[in-house]
Structure 1
Amino acid sequence: MTTRQPTAFESIPAIDIAPLFGSDVQAQQATAEALGRAAREVGFFYVINHGISEARQQALFDQTKRLFELPLQRKMDYYIGKSDNHRGYVPAGEEAPDPSKADAKEAFDLSFELPDDHPEVRAGTPMMGANVWPDIDGFADDVYAYYQDVFAVGRALMGGFEQALGLEANTLLGEVTEPPSQLRLIHYPYDPNAQDAQGIGAHTDYECFTLLRPTAPGLEVMNGAGEWVDVPYRDDALVVNIGDMLEIWTNGAFVATSHRVRKVKEERYSFPLFFAADYHSQVAPLPQLLKDGETPNYEPLSAGDHLWAQTIQTFNYLKKRLADGEIELPDGARGAGTLGQHARHKDEA
């Protein structure tokens, strides 16, 4: 199978996306073209002038710090394994994208909020429903306000990708109305004994793309030569990386780029929004992006089933439910880490 590889880049481009929120058509097109180049050649880039206020971000940081400062016993009251839709507190060691290496972090997971009487919730669709909110004053309001802001940035980026690909409006945006797009609040505790090494194992993200707000350095991305490139910390930017679903939709033109986080001594926080397609969206190479006679490089997949299958294969509490027969992998589920650039490098090794 032939798919585009990222170039042997040595740095990460920064793109001013303010025009995506304005009315200047030429500026919008120029921004879309810049997004397209970055998605094809690197798969990773910064976006600046994204419109999320410093006050909104600071409220997110403050509430997250309050949560993770709670005693472990209190945090476990909100343990994700107690939920029926994959929301809540994730203790250290609960997940491992690389099954041979446990991640050195704790997290809190939330997603698109749906009421109990929503048809998807009533149908028992995985990962859909209400969030689990800690009993911390203002936490739900502040954190979900950030979620709504960063989700709006994601929709603006998806519109830019449509333009970059020459697609009609809503070709992709029409597939992101009420998706299981997860926001993770991640805490890397101070570790005086840490050596500069892996913190989160190398992986690509399952969804369309990720919008990350880190608070410190440590992120690395793999270039087309298989070399790890540092992603310097910027407090004025969100870091965006292409995920599996957008790679499939573009038949490999956009690159789902491998990345990892170094394990270092300093305490850090990280806030990724995994921008997903709607649960029942069918993701396959778009016919309008294929040349005459070109064969698609990817088999179709169900967006939600793919995300749910990968999640089951990553979290220990879900692995146990699977082993106990309480849940099943969706039909046609792919193995963990079988898509994207990292999988290709493993196949070539």
Structure 2
Amino acid sequence: MASAKLINSAPPFPDTLPVANLLKISLSSLISGDPASANAVLTACRTLGFFQLDLANTPIGEAMTHLVDSIFPVIHETMELPLHQKMEYTQDAPRSFIGYKALGVMKTASGAPDNCEFWTIAEDGILGTTVPEQPMPSSLGTQRGVFKEYLAHGRAVVEYIFHALAAQLHIPHDAFTQFHDPTRKSGTIIRLLQYAPGTPRHEEEEENKEEEPGLPAHTDFGSITLLANVLGGLQVLNPRGEWEWVRPEAGCLIVNMGDAMVEWTAGVLRSNMHRVVCAPGEQAGLRRVSFAMLVRPFKEARMERLVGGSIPSVERDREEGMEKIGVGIDGMTAWEWELKKAMALKEGRDCARSHGGREL
């Protein structure tokens, strides 16, 4: 997450909203191998599928906080480019989802056009080791070194999370990291997002307002997502089926499990539904900028169960339903699985829902 200086430069997040109870876990404690923190990671990843990662008091965390603060102005500068310049780098979907996505290309649940534009930067295209460097406007191209450094720190952070989960699940230390070799082609990306501003509202107006998401509610179909933002707007679905706000916390990253972690653990870990709506209160009048590192396996990784044993009947029924739409088939490669998942979503064959969270 951004520094306290950047968080405090925005209008305050309202105090009257229903806020998700995300566990706050210290990166420092994970690095030291603290068993209680590792257990907290498993608890968070089995229940809500989200937690706050406190970056304080670690060299990696302090470096990432500094990089987050430096990347936000880059997003603003890039999104302010004339539309015709941005469209030169538009995504060639469904062949490629790398590059620029303009406002209104996707539809929300109500059928309204989305109000989010984003730029997807491939890790492969930044590192330039497995594919040619990704074409970018100069505002992004001059920052390749910054993105490369952020990816390196982000991978280190994710490895600590992987190791904590592996220890708690009693599987080999490298059970998850083995599928995330950065020297092999992968779908890992950095996504720079900007949501159109709304109309500032008083706190009492928030309670009865029907929210329209900027993008369709969804789960992430990678492994782990690291999210940095300044303004509110992110909401997660609680176990009662109610949307709750995530309050931005200075110096913390928002971490959530993706669908791949559900597959590898046969539904033990949870990939939870989330969405982004207009920022609350006085924050609504600002353009909401954020960026996420979406960590995905290398393309030949096998989507096979690492833990979880046999699947109870209710989970088996859900898995069979997923297989009918070509998603979550044990033994597929990560690339085959991601393509089928993306096409199912695009064609409306995938019912948006949370996955996982069962007992071992």
SS of residue matched to 2:106: coil
- Residue 174 of structure 1 corresponds to 178
Residue 185 in structure 1 maps to residue 192 in structure 2: yes
- Give 2:294's aligned residue: 274
Residue 213 (1) aligns with residue 213 (2): no
- What secondary structure sits across from 1:174 in the alignment? helix
In the other structure, the counterpart of 1:33 is 39
TM-superposed CA distance for 1:339, in Å, is 6.2
Match of 2:134 among 128, 131, 138: 131
Residues 84-123 of structure 1: matches in 2 within 5 Å?
85-96=96-107, 98=109, 100-113=111-124, 118=130
Whole-angstrom CA distance in 2 between matches of 1:313 and 1:102: 19
1:56 Cα shift? Answer: 1.1
Q: Give 2:265's aligned residue.
A: 250
Residue deviations 1:164-205, cap 9 Å, x none?
Answer: 211111111101113311210001122349975322221111
Q: Aligned equivalents of 2:221 and 2:53: distance in 1?
A: 20
Q: Identity of aligned pairs, percent? A: 22
Q: TM-score when scaled to structure 1?
A: 0.76
Cα deviation code 1:2-27 (max 9, x no counterpart): xxxxxxx9511111121333xx44x2
CA contact (8 A) 1:258 1:340 kept: yes
| One-letter amino acid matched to 1:304 | W
The amino acid across from 1:170 in the alignment is: D
2:25 aligned partner, one-letter code? I
Q: Distance in 1 between matches of 2:112 and 2:253?
A: 27
Equivalent in the alignment of 1:259: 274
Cα distance change, pair 36–183 in 1 and its aligned pair in 2 (3 A) = same
Structure 2 equivalent of residue 204 of structure 1: 219
The number of residue pairs the alignment matches comes to 302
Summarize the Cα distance change of 1:189–1:143 in structure 2 as closer, same or farther, 3 Å threshold.
Answer: farther
**1:11 matched to which residue of 2?**
21
Asked if 2 retains the 8 angstrom alpha-carbon contact of 1:248 and 1:284, the reply is yes
Question: Structure 1 CA distance, aligned partners of 2:351 and 2:235?
Answer: 18
Unmatched runs of 5 consecutive residues or more in structure 2: 1-18, 202-208, 320-328
Q: Is residue 2:174 matched to residue 1:164?
A: no
| Deviations 1:114-170 (CA, angstroms, capped at 9, x unpaired) | 57784xx5xxxxxxx632321227332223322332232222212221112111111
Q: Are residue 290 (structure 1) and residue 299 (structure 2) matched?
A: no
Find the partner of 2:81 among 70, 78, 93: 70
The whole-number CA distance in structure 2 between the counterparts of 1:337 and 1:164 is 31
- In structure 2, the partner of 1:230 is 245
State the partner residue of 1:126: none
| CA spacing shift, 1:280–1:187, aligned 2, 3 Å | same
The verdict on how the C-alpha distance between 1:67 and 1:263 changes in structure 2, with shifts beyond 3 A counting, is same
Secondary structure at 1:150 match in 2 = helix
For residue 45 of structure 1, the aligned residue among 41, 51, 65 is 51
